[in-house]
Amino acid sequence: MILRLDGIDFSYHGNQPVFKNLNLTIPLNCWTVLTGDCGTGKTTLAKLIAGLLKPDKGSIRFENDNGLNNSLEVGYIFQNPDDQFVHFNIEREVAFNLENRGASPAIVRKAVQLALESVNLWPRRENSPHELSGGEKQKLAIADWLVSKPQVLIFDETTAFLDLPTRFELYENIRRLIVAGLSVIWISQEDYEIAFADYIIELLPGYLLRTSSNK
């Protein structure tokens, strides 16, 4: 499975283009790091992939091994997860998306438990999200998306305000999710995070990019 971007043009409100005729193929079912200097368009590209922004021109599509288009669900975790929490306790927070989709109470309960157990937050389910540490909030943001079973999860400089032990615990959680079939796109400028990646995309000034692999 791959993600293909063909001929992408994008600018904010008709100003200076962020991307001009961008062509890029991203392998899925692995850990991809999106890196580059400030202002090269990392977050913009991630939001285009997630469907949070629409390109002015060009196409973004997921293709299976036969070249056929697939529709995949893409989740997006922001640098500050507090911005995405809407409920007063952790269990209700994670249940919110499934309940809105009309899932039965039994299905919701099972899915929420599995998601929270996968990030070691099930024992904290009665707490408020805002009582959690920074690393725990990032885990909760992951659990929020896991109940929706996205095929791709984008992390936008998620570890910027976390200490090193918490960061490495989060990396271990994410690697387990990748082994289970999740595709991760990770925005970072940190060398040691880039070293974790299977595939690296570096955005360069002048609408250029460079790709490499750690595999």
Which residue ranges make up each domain of the chain? 1-72+152-215, 85-150
Model confidence, pTM: 0.85
Count CB-CB contacts under 10 A for residue 78.
16
Nearest Cα to Cα of residue 137 among 77, 50, 215: 77
pLDDT given at position 67: 63
User: What is the distance between the alpha carbons of residues 9 and 55, in angstroms, rounded to a whole number?
Assistant: 6
What does the pLDDT average to over 136-145?
87
CA geometry: angle 183, 120, 108, nearest 5 deg: 75
Distances (CA, A) of 196 to 33, 191, 200: 9, 9, 10
Find out if CATH 3.40.50.300 is the number for domain 1-72+152-215. Answer: yes
User: What is the distance between the alpha carbons of residues 138 and 160, in angstroms, rounded to a whole number?
Assistant: 11
pLDDT given at position 72: 79
pLDDT given at position 183: 92
Is the distance from CB of 125 to CB of 116 less than 8 angstroms?
Answer: yes
Q: What is the 3-state secondary structure (H, E, C) of 148-172?
A: CCCCEEEEECCCCCCCHHHHHHHHH
pLDDT given at position 214: 78
Amino acid found at 99: E
User: What is the distance between the alpha carbons of residues 87 and 58, in angstroms, rounded to a whole number?
Assistant: 38
What does the pLDDT average to over 118-123?
88
Distant-in-sequence, close-in-space partners of 39: CB < 8 Å, separation ≥ 6? none
User: What is the distance between the alpha carbons of residues 156 and 143, in angstroms, rounded to a whole number?
Assistant: 16
